[in-house]
Amino acid sequence: NVDGTSNIGGTIKYTVTLILRISDTEEKRKFFVMNCSKENLILGLPWLREVNPTVDWKEGT
């Protein structure tokens, strides 16, 4: 986990390749399958740095 604690969902054992669509961009990406959050998907800092998306924090888009 980001905060250094152990993952309560256990060790990550599986990955899945999905098509990620954002606006008019589509790409295949590998994701780790895990049970550690109420979120459906977590995009990490390396991805954010690579893609550098435009985010409207007020609108949530």
Beta-bridge partners for 17: 30
Alpha carbons within 13 A on the beta-carbon side of 7:
12
Model confidence band, residue 30 (pLDDT cutoffs 50, 70, 90): very high
Model confidence band, residue 3 (pLDDT cutoffs 50, 70, 90): confident
Residue 42 has pLDDT above 90, yes or no: no
What does pTM read for this prediction?
0.62
Residue 9 has pLDDT above 80, yes or no: no
Residue 19, pLDDT score: 96
